[in-house]
Amino acid sequence: MSGEAEIRKKKIYRVTFIGFAVNLLLAGIKLAAGILGRSGAMVADAVHSFSDMATDVVVIAFAKISAKPKDEGHDYGHGKYETLATIIISLALAAVGTGILVNSIGAIRVVVDGGLLPRPGTVALLAAAVSIVVKEILYRYTVREGRRVSSPSMIANAWHHRSDALSSLGTLAGIGCAYFLGDKWRIADPIAALVVAVFIFKIAFDLIRTGLDELLERSLPEDVEEEILRVVAANPEVREPHNLRTRRIGASIAVEVHVRVDGAMSVCRSHELTVDIERRLRARFGEGTMIAIHVEPLKAACRAE
C-alpha cells in the first residue's frame, strides 16, 4: 500500500470513527427522550441515528478494502469497492426514508380517523434541537474531509448525517406544533416527517445515480475531459490528442488517450514526452491517476514516407 493511500485510509477511519461515536451517543439520547417524552417521531429519529452507525461500519470496512493496491485479480486496484459502499449507504438512506414515510402515513391516518396523537414532552423537543445542531456540524466536518481525500463513500455518509439533521428538523417542527399549539396541531408531526422523507429519497436517488454511473463506466464530465486534453497538449511537441477515454475508479480516475508526434522523433524522446504528460496529469488529478498513452506519428509524416 502506498504512503498516500495509507494516509487517506487513516483520515477516512478517523472521521468515520468520530461519526460512529457521535451517532451512538446521539441515538441513545434520542431513544430515551422519545420514550420519556412520549414522542413516536423522536423514537423514529433515534432509529435513523442507529442506521447512521450501520453506514459508518460500511464505510470503515470498504475503506480498508479500497485502499489495497492492485493485485493479480485486480489490475486497476480495488477502488470500485468504495463505489459499492456508496450504493449500499444510498440504499440504507432509501430504507430509512421508507420507514419514516410509512410511520408518517400511519400517524396521519390516526388523526383522519378521529384519533388523537399523544402530546410530546419537553425532553423530546430539546433532544430534537440538540440533534439538529450536532448532526449539521458532523455533516459539514465529514463532507469537507471527504472532498479533501476524494472519498465518495465518506461524502455519501456525510449526506446520511445531513438526512438525520433534516429528520430532526422535521421532528422539531412537529413536536413544537404539537407541544405549543394544542391538540389539533399534533398532526403537524407526521406531516413534517413526510416532507423529510421526500428529501431523504432525493438524496438517496442522487447518490445511487452517481454510484451506478461509476460502476457502469460513465465518462468523466465534459469540462474535466477538456481540461485533460489541455494538459496533454500543453507541450507543443505533442499534437492532436484524440480517442480520449475516461472513467472513475473509486477516488481515482483512469485516462486513456492517443497523441501524435513528429514521425522522425526518437523512441526515447517520445517516451520522455509521455512521462511528462503522466507527471502533469497526476499533479492535477492525483497520484492515483491511471494513465495509458498511445503514441502515433503525424499523418503528414506518414504520407511523406
pLDDT tens across 42-55, in order? 877 787 777 667 66
- Measured between alpha carbons, how far apart are the two ends of the chain, in Å? 48
- In 3D, which of 63, 80, 65 has the Cα closest to residue 20? 63
The angle at the Cα of 39, spanning 192 to 182, to the nearest 5 degrees, equals 70
Residues contacting residue 221 through CB under 8 Å, at least 6 positions apart: none
Taking a C-beta distance cutoff of 8 angstroms, is the pair 210, 87 a contact?
no
Q: Is residue 198 scored above 90 in pLDDT?
A: no
pTM assigned to the model: 0.64
Whether the CB-CB separation of 125 and 179 falls below 8 Å is answered with yes
Q: Tens digit of pLDDT for each residue in 231-284?
A: 999 999 999 899 999 998 876 789 999 999 998 899 999 999 999 999 999 988
Tell me the mean pLDDT in the region 118-141.
89
Helices (H), the chain: 3-36, 40-66, 80-112, 122-148, 152-180, 188-215, 222-232, 267-285, 299-304
* Mean of per-residue pLDDT scores for the chain: 83
φ/ψ bin of 245: left (φ > 0), alpha (ψ from -120 to 50), beta (otherwise): beta
Residue 152 has pLDDT above 80, yes or no: no
- DSSP annotation string for 93-109: HHHHHHHHHHHHHHHHH
The rounded distance, in Å, linking the Cα atoms of 139 and 145 is 10
Q: Are 93 and 200 in contact (CB under 8 A)?
A: yes
For 256, other C-beta atoms within 10 Å of its C-beta total 14
Q: Whole-angstrom Cα distance, residue 205 to residue 102?
A: 18
